[in-house]
Amino acid sequence: MKNTIATALLLAGISAAPIFAQDRESHVSDEFGTKNPDELSLRGALDRLRHGEWHPMTSAIGYGAAKAGMHGVAREIFSDSAERGNVQGMTWLSWMEDNGLAGPEDPEAAAHWDRRAMELGSEIGAFNFGLDVLRGRGVPFDRELGEAIIQRAARMGSPDAQHLIENDYDLDSVTPDADEWKYEKKLF
């Protein structure tokens, strides 16, 4: 398990060593600085986060935690980032809410964060919120509004939105079998 987490974090470009207490060298600070500071580590990000500090890279570190299966930690990072107005944090928190990671599946919360990201100018947020509206997932179904939001995402530069428009809003063209997967997931 430890090696799996370390590998996932390293692939995401995040130092894994400071995560595990037994692997962590003690920090030594002197007049020349600090030996082995927790700058871009998960532990360092959480420490700063819990002391009210935040940096745009925090969401990237949350991504590494999510991909390593550390969903509770990732949710903490993304929730704080989203509340601070960071669109990447909103997008990843939406993904966690939509998939029930480190909490129950919550389509309404997922759509809320997609809409907020869209309102802050995120083409990904606009695309995802357009899909929410076209599916009626977390928000009421409204084909006309959903298509208008997808068109907005395309104007913002989303290649996925453009692809969806070119395929006459066929949701399977951008998210094959997503609707069936959600349905089947609830059956088991």
Which pLDDT score is estimated for 18?
46
Q: What is the pLDDT of residues 19-65, one digit of tens each?
A: 444 444 556 667 776 666 666 677 877 888 788 887 777 888 888 89
Give the pLDDT score at 79.
Answer: 95
Answer yes or no: is 51 within a domain: yes
Q: Verify that 70 and 5 share a domain, yes or no.
A: yes
Comparing CA positions, the residue from 168, 145, 144, 148 lying closest to residue 156 is 148
pLDDT over threshold 90, residue 85: yes
Q: Are residues 54 and 129 in the same domain?
A: no
pLDDT at 129 (0 to 100): 98
Note whether 99 and 105 are within 8 A (CB): yes
Specify whether 2 is located in the same domain as 63.
yes
Q: Are 27 and 60 in contact (CB under 8 A)?
A: no
Confidence (pLDDT) at 72: 94
Q: 133 and 77, same structural domain?
A: no
Distance CA 6, CA 161 (A): 35
Claim to verify: residue 63 and residue 120 sit in the same structural domain: no
Residue 99 is assigned to a structural domain of this protein: no
Q: Is residue 100 part of a domain?
A: no
Asked whether residue 11 falls in the same domain as residue 42, the answer is yes
Q: What's this model's pTM, rounded to 2 decimal places? A: 0.74
d(CA 16, CA 164): 38
pLDDT at residue 54, as a whole number: 77
Average pLDDT, the chain: 83
**Is 167 inside any structural domain?**
yes
pLDDT at 45 (0 to 100): 78
In the predicted structure, residue 105 carries a pLDDT above the cut 90: yes
List the beta strands (DSSP E) in the chain: 28-30, 33-35
The number of distinct structural domains making up the chain is 2
Using one digit for the tens of pLDDT, what is the confidence trace for 136-178?
999 999 999 999 999 999 999 999 999 999 999 999 999 887 6
Q: Any idea which residue has 């759509």 for tokens?
A: 111
Q: Does some domain include residue 97?
A: no
CA torsion angle 119 121 123 126 (round to 10): 10
Residue at 155 is within a domain:
yes
pLDDT band at 117 (very low <50, low <70, confident <90, very high): very high
pLDDT of residue 46: 80
Q: Which domain range does residue 113 map to?
A: 107-188
- Residue 31: the pLDDT is 79
**If you average pLDDT over residues 61-74, what whole number do you get?**
91
